Amino acid sequence: MTKQTIGILGIGWLGLPLAKEFIADGYAVKGTTTSLTKIDDVRAAGIKPYQIKLSEHQITGEIEDFLKDLNYLIINVPPGLRGTGPKESYVKKMQLLHLEIKKASVKHVIFVSSTAVYGNATGDVDEETIPQPISESGIQLLTSENLFRKDSSLKTTILRFAGLIGPSRHPVTILSTKKNLKDGNAPVNLIHLDDCIGIIKSIILENQWDTVLNGVHPEHPSKRDYYTRIAKTRDLKIPEYQLVKDKKYKKIITCRSFLIKRRSFFTSLYD
């Protein structure tokens, strides 16, 4: 029996362990990196490696071969619009990628996005909430989401992840050095790496296509309580938040039944 092939555009903090999970499940995996020095590491993990770089003017690397004969494509490319220095248009990169996908036989796409598309929405925010992004990253992510969603020749699922936590990645590392932080009463909207992987696998296994999903842990302690507890367990300085009156905050939730029924499988925020 021929193995199904999954392509992961972006083998990094999420993409590498995700690829390893798929390989363990019996899939063949192709993966891309922008760095030549990482090719050997990608290959050593059992992934067929490609050095591919997206720019707003062109795609360098063997994109046609990467996309060839894929059963599923996972687009895991962050906008990269934060920080200083010149920035390239994420939308233009995705437009070029979309054109290449149209030339290939790819039919099923998972587009990894962010809850940043909801902007400053308050109260319970679910997949039916109309996105109103305010950051440049959020604006370009939403435009790129729609590029793929509106293509009726593709079965695209948009996966909007909340703040990512996991091995070597946690906001408390930076927050512990801060004072006078705002919004200490705001609920955290986070998701663990293990759950990111679990949700992506579930989309494929349960054929959850042509939909939008929020990837977020169902627990939402306040930032003050949560980061205080995490800082203590890691022997870090406790982040200092301003004392302010309560106001309405954003809490990201999911209304998709197939995710709700998997609540008991979510990794603890405190692990």
Residue 203 has pLDDT above 70, yes or no: yes
> Is the dihedral angle over the CA atoms 166, 209, 7, 87 positive or is it negative?
negative
Phi, psi of 54 (to 5 degrees): -95, 135
Confidence (pLDDT) at 80: 83
Residue 1 has pLDDT above 90, yes or no: no
User: Residue 178 falls within a domain, yes or no?
Assistant: no
User: Residue 145 falls within a domain, yes or no?
Assistant: yes
140-144 mean pLDDT: 98
Phi, psi of 26 (to 5 degrees): 100, 5
- Measured at the alpha carbon of residue 144, what is the angle toward residues 193 and 150, in degrees to the nearest 5? 115
Residue 261 has pLDDT above 80, yes or no: no
User: Residue 104 falls within a domain, yes or no?
Assistant: yes
Indicate the pLDDT class of residue 247, thresholds 50, 70 and 90. confident
Query: What is residue 263's three-state secondary structure?
Result: helix
Indicate the pLDDT class of residue 210, thresholds 50, 70 and 90. very high
Nearest in space to 14 (alpha carbons), one of 82, 86, 72, 75: 75
For helices 90-103 and 136-149, the axis angle rounded to 10 degrees is 20
User: Residue 20 falls within a domain, yes or no?
Assistant: yes
Residue 262 has pLDDT above 90, yes or no: no
CATH number at residue 38: 3.40.50.720
Residue 60 has pLDDT above 70, yes or no: yes
User: Residue 241 falls within a domain, yes or no?
Assistant: no
User: Residue 237 falls within a domain, yes or no?
Assistant: no
pLDDT > 70: what percent of the chain? 97
Confidence (pLDDT) at 85: 64
Nearest in space to 72 (alpha carbons), one of 173, 156, 164: 156
Query: What is residue 112's three-state secondary structure?
Result: strand
CA separation for the pair 156, 206 (Å, rounded): 14
Residue 2 has pLDDT above 70, yes or no: yes
Confidence (pLDDT) at 266: 81
For helices 193-205 and 15-24, the axis angle rounded to 10 degrees is 50
User: Residue 175 falls within a domain, yes or no?
Assistant: no
* Average pLDDT score, the chain: 94
User: Residue 270 falls within a domain, yes or no?
Assistant: no
Tell me the residue range of the domain where 256 lies. Answer: 5-166+191-218+250-265
Confidence (pLDDT) at 42: 97
What's the pLDDT tens digit per position in 67-101? 999 999 999 999 987 766 678 999 999 999 999 99
Query: What is residue 30's three-state secondary structure?
Result: strand
In the chain, the number of structural domains is 1
Confidence (pLDDT) at 258: 80
Residue 246 has pLDDT above 80, yes or no: no
What's the pLDDT tens digit per position in 96-132? 999 999 999 999 999 999 999 999 999 999 999 999 9
Confidence (pLDDT) at 116: 96
Give the C-alpha distances (Å, rounded to integers) separating 48 from 11, 39, 99, 170, 254. 11, 9, 23, 30, 34
Nearest in space to 230 (alpha carbons), one of 193, 267, 191, 271: 271
**DSSP result, 94-109:** HHHHHHHHHHS---EE
Residue 196, token pair as written in the block:
């990111």
Indicate the pLDDT class of residue 29, thresholds 50, 70 and 90. very high
